[in-house]
Chain A
Amino acid sequence: MDLSRRDLLESFSKFIILSGAARVGMESLCGAAPSAEADKYKMADHWWSMTIDISKCIGCGNCVRACAEENDVPEGHFRTWVERYFVQDADMEHPEVDSPNGAKNGFPALNRPAGKSYFVPKLCNHCADSPCVQACPVGATFDTVDGVVLVDEKYCVGCSYCVQACPYGCRYIHPTKHTADKCTLCYHRITKGLTTACCEACPTGSRKLADLKNPKDPVHEFLRVNNVQVLKPQMATRAKVFYKDLDGAVR
């Protein structure tokens, strides 16, 4: 067989182009075919977060109770809790913070008009760059494709590195399972099209589940229109719980 270098290159490039075209053709064919899993939850279509409006929180503790009920959170531990801040005049460095039993039974009435006070609900920030995920030595804590930080309790060895790594104090070791536990952003609910238990139970709409990948989600307007902050931005965790009207004294 007598092949010049030119012939060889020509036929080789033809082969590459044609096989590529065939693959594209196959993909478009397969993609056009009706899929049996059309209505199945697609992780890649979501990027979950939460918005919290401080100016709406009344510290009733409904979210804490709902979370405990929905997720069987053990007594004395919290996946979400509410803190009450009291700041005296310019003393922003030393706010007085109380959270009796995580506000599960609400707060005793406070009557101190001489300073500034407000409630701050807290939960896992589902950080995009989570320190807890980086600290886990066994791959039990992970970021999902849809932006939720979860714990695999069958894989967790209970070393509690993640509990120490979380800058927001959102994790605890489950007293009977002896594994790390935390807010799952109600993963069993949000993947079925429901909102989280805390958002469902919040009477003032202070908390709202948000899907950053959904262009119709009101979160985009919320972020555009309001003064919004995340907790501890200096930690560069890319936290995804966005607080409206958060005071500078909040830690």
Chain B
Amino acid sequence: MKKILRDSGHLIRLAGVFALGIAIFLLVRRAIVPPSFGQYGHYRGAVLEEMRARPVKYAGHELCEACHESVATAKNPGKHANVGCEACHGALAAHTEDPSGVKPVLPNVATLCVSCHEADSAKPAHFPQVISKEHAGDTSCTACHNPHHPKPGS
């Protein structure tokens, strides 16, 4: 028995070295691989929560309409019924969180209306478009059109 132990001593020492190596590998891996890695796939699972936590800047028209119901009602029968509030008024999640502190600025109609309605042969033919200089000259769009219900005289 003693002889066997003595003869196989080099094997036991070698096994010890291997065991130590594996233990170090496991410790290092534990230290450097994030715990959520592999939770859903070959990536850090926690990144999904981090991304979801980012702040929203566009509140969404449903939230706007919760307070400004009258505007939504006025818009409904017109051509702009399906244009979201923030398409013209800009990102206003800050206003929904602090309605009195953050006041939206009225958009500049001189540049806003033409950004959609200036004539361009690439635009769909059915889309209402004008050459603004010929259509109105220097007159403001809002002199004739109400942006929430753009048909003149309505």
Which residues in A have some Cβ–Cβ distance to B below 8 Å? 41, 43, 55-62, 66, 69-70, 84-86, 106-107, 109-113, 117-119, 139-145, 150, 152, 154-155, 184, 187-189, 191-192, 194-195, 197, 200-205
Contacts and interface: CB of A to CB of B under 8 A. Distances in A.
A29 to B, nearest CB: 26
Interface of B: 37, 40-44, 47-48, 51-58, 60-61, 82-84, 86-88, 90-91, 115-116, 118-124, 127, 129, 131
B34 to A, nearest CB: 8
A188 B86 CA distance: 18
Contacts of A155: 43-44, 47
B42 A150 contact: no
B119 A109 contact: yes
A190 to B, nearest CB: 10
A142 B84 contact: no
B122 A154 contact: no
> Which of A70, A145, A152, A155: most chain B Cβ within 10 A?
A152
A57 B116 CA distance: 10
A60 B61 CA distance: 19
A174 to B, nearest CB: 15
Contacts of A187: 48, 51-52
A51 to B, nearest CB: 15
23 contacts: A58-B124, A61-B115, A62-B115, A66-B91, A70-B58, A84-B122, A85-B122, A109-B120, A110-B121, A111-B119, A111-B120, A113-B121, A140-B43, A145-B41, A150-B47, A152-B47, A187-B48, A188-B53, A188-B55, A191-B52, A195-B60, A203-B87, A204-B83
B127 A58 contact: yes
A150 B122 CA distance: 33
Nearest to B48: A144
Contact of B56 (A60, A150, A192): A192
Nearest to B90: A69
A55 B55 CA distance: 33
Contacts of A58: 116, 120, 123-124, 127, 129
Contacts of B47: 150, 152, 154-155
A205 B124 contact: no
A188 B44 CA distance: 17
Contacts of B82: 205
B116 A60 contact: yes
Contacts of B116: 58, 60, 203
The 10 A-B pairs with the shortest beta carbon distances in the complex, nearest first, are: A117-B122, A142-B43, A188-B54, A152-B47, A203-B87, A203-B83, A139-B42, A60-B116, A197-B58, A200-B58
